[in-house]
């Protein structure tokens, strides 16, 4: 008997569709949280992940930056129109987009996004806690804890933020993770100056907000420094609701020839290497991006010791940490480095090495993507 062999048509393995990840934020204005979202979508593995952003309010000043890298961004215009209306609007859009992962940033986005994701049948919800703020008012506290129960993983950007999450969010311990922020090291060249040199310039970059960033303390510290070091100068990068008040204080302290208010800048990575020191006067922080950027540029840090800052800045090694709301302590730390330029340079180099070892944005993005994979595998089972 003769056997006939029939060739089977060659079957190609279909390429799996990318995992769809939608980030939900209030808006995309200039700030640390928004920089984190920008870097997460910019460095995402585009063969495996397709990312987009939903803004509950307006899109904001960073819209061109997202457009340039080809990331879809959409404004829903429902922020401050009521939580229920926000939930319904987000759920409606999620049913159309059908993402695999919803990733919320900021408590308001979380309170709206997590219930909307459950309503729309989204497999995985992740929330990043970027700051140290606790819920205020029974409705916000209740909404936050309900959202936490509907979230598969709460990600804190520091162990200090994780501690706040345990007490405020009240989620299960096995749903809490710490993934620290990172920066694009290729963007930050190290400063060219080396010790010794005569003049000394510090730089501060933050939203101008006395409630959280406390630039009043910073200006009062600068007055004390200038009294001892007349050629000391400070560049303040950023804008905000308290700019007018701070400029008035600057005039009152007779610091106009020593302090420049530069406003919002898109070239902070170019301004940092022109300075000798980065200074931060905050009363609350999660893990500030500005400190990571300054260390990536090889600057020593003088900062208040709040939130997760000590997880980033090693006292006496990469910078000096002082108590908050204390102009004298801040001024003493600045002068300590002003009077020892070589130590300042050595601290800056140590800070750059630390960022290279632990805070590369590519590594941080990969950690988030592995979290998405793990949660999707678990929930699909």
CATH architecture of 185-358: 3-Layer(aba) Sandwich (3.40)
Phi-psi region of 49 (alpha: psi -120 to 50; beta: other; left: phi over 0): beta
Which two tokens mark 119? 């309503």
Running along the chain, 381 residues long, what does each successive block of 10 average in pLDDT? 44 76 95 94 97 96 95 94 93 98 95 97 97 80 94 96 93 96 89 64 96 97 98 96 97 98 93 96 94 97 96 97 98 97 96 95 97 93 56
Query: In the chain, where are the structural domains located?
Result: 19-182+360-380, 185-358
Q: What pLDDT, in 10s, does the model give residues 307-327? A: 999 999 999 999 999 999 999
Instruction: Give dist(CA 94, CA 116) in Å, integer.
Output: 8
Residues 90, 125 contacting (CB under 8 angstroms): no
> Cα dist. 253→76, 202, 292, 302 in Å?
45, 18, 30, 21
Residues 175, 205 contacting (CB under 8 angstroms): no
Look up tokens 């994701």; give the residue.
117
Which two tokens mark 373? 């994979």
Residues 108, 79 contacting (CB under 8 angstroms): yes
pLDDT (0 to 100) of residue 12? 57
Closest CA to 363 of 208, 192, 211, 183: 183
Assigned CATH for 19-182+360-380: 3.40.50.2000
pLDDT (0 to 100) of residue 4? 40
Closest CA to 25 of 92, 84, 98, 74: 74
Residues 21, 43 contacting (CB under 8 angstroms): no
Which two tokens mark 370? 């592995």
pLDDT (0 to 100) of residue 14? 62
Q: What pLDDT, in 10s, does the model give residues 194-237? A: 554 668 999 999 999 999 999 999 999 999 999 999 999 999 99
Instruction: Give dist(CA 381, CA 157) in Å, integer.
Output: 28
Query: Does pTM top 0.85 for this prediction?
Result: yes
pLDDT (0 to 100) of residue 266? 86
Query: CB atoms < 10 A from the CB of 204, how many?
Result: 26
- Is it true that 19-182+360-380 and 185-358 share their CATH fold? yes
């Amino acid at each position: 008997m003769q056997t006939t062999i029939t060739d089977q048509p060659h079957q190609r393995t279909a390429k799996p569709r990318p995992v769809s990840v939608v980030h939900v934020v209030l808006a995309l204005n200039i700030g640390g949280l928004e920089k984190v979202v920008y870097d997460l979508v910019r460095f995402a593995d585009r063969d495996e992940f397709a990312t987009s952003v939903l803004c509950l309010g307006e899109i904001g000043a960073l819209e061109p930056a997202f457009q340039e890298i080809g990331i879809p961004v959409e404004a829903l215009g429902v922020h401050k129109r009521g939580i229920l209306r926000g939930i319904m609007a987000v759920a409606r859009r999620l049913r159309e987009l059908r993402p695999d992962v919803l990733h919320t940033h900021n408590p308001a986005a979380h309170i709206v996004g997590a219930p909307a994701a459950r309503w729309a049948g989204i497999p995985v919800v992740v929330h990043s806690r970027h700051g140290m703020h606790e819920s205020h008012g029974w409705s916000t506290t209740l909404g936050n804890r309900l959202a936490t129960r509907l979230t598969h993983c709460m990600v804190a950007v520091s162990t200090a933020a994780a501690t706040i999450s345990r007490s405020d969010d009240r989620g299960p311990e096995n749903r809490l993770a710490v993934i620290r922020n990172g920066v694009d090291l290729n963007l930050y060249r190290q400063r060219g100056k080396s010790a010794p040199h005569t003049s000394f310039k510090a730089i501060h970059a933050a939203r101008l907000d006395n409630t959280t960033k406390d630039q009043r303390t910073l200006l009062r510290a600068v007055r004390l420094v200038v009294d001892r070091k007349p050629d000391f100068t400070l560049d303040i990068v950023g804008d905000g609701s308290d700019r007018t008040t701070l400029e008035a204080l600057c005039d009152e302290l007779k610091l106009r020839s020593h302090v420049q208010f530069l406003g919002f800048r898109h070239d902070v990575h170019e301004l940092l290497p022109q300075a000798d020191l980065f200074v931060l006067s905050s009363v609350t922080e999660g893990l500030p991006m500005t400190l990571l950027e300054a260390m990536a540029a090889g600057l020593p840090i003088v900062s208040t010791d709040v939130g997760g800052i000590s997880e980033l800045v090693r006292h006496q090694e990469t910078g000096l940490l002082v108590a908050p709301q204390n102009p004298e302590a801040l001024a003493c730390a600045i002068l300590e480095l002003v009077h020892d330029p070589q130590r300042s340079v050595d601290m800056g180099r140590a800070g750059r090495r630390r960022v290279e070892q632990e805070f590369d944005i590519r590594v941080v993005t990969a950690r988030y993507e592995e979290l998405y994979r793990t949660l999707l595998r678990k929930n699909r089972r």
